[in-house]
A = this chain, B = another copy of it.
């Protein structure tokens, strides 16, 4: 957020400077007006593109960011969240157990608890709900 403000502030300053420069060079110098106009057109075109890119980029980022507050709000523990991510990547309980170096029964308890907290009946539904809540990416 602060970054965006900084970027915009800098842009405004740059714009002001550009305007001053353009009017200055136009009044004092004897350079062709058409060139100045062309340069200004190009510069502002580029500025427009850059600003828009930044804006859309940030929007995209926000859309794909995970909501850590929601994870806490739901009450998912660290381990449960890890298991949830592994489920979403398509692993079985046994595979998750191997990946996290624990027994399969441990994973089963985690899954069971995680399903209750997400209000899901199945792991596939848990994936869907977690995605809607922006708890996991994809």
User: Which residues of chain A have a CB within 8 Å of any CB of chain B?
Assistant: 1-2, 4-5, 8-9, 11-12, 15-16, 19, 22-23, 26, 33-34, 36-38, 40-49, 51-53, 55-56, 58-60, 62, 87-92, 120-129, 131, 138
Asked if A125 contacts B90 (CB within 8 A), the reply is yes
Closest Cβ of chain B: how far from A17's Cβ, in Å?
11
Asked if B122 contacts A90 (CB within 8 A), the reply is yes
Asked if B48 contacts A91 (CB within 8 A), the reply is no
Asked if B8 contacts A90 (CB within 8 A), the reply is no
Contacts A8-B8, A40-B37, A123-B124; is A90 near B129 (CB within 8 Å)?
yes
Q: Which B residues lie within 8 Å of A127 (CB)?
A: 90, 124, 127
Asked if A88 contacts B48 (CB within 8 A), the reply is no
Instruction: Choose one: B4, B49, B92; the contact of A121 (CB below 8 Å).
Output: B92
Q: Which B residues lie within 8 Å of A138 (CB)?
A: 131, 138
Q: Which B residues lie within 8 Å of A53 (CB)?
A: 52, 56
Instruction: Choose one: B16, B38, B48, B59; the contact of A52 (CB below 8 Å).
Output: B48
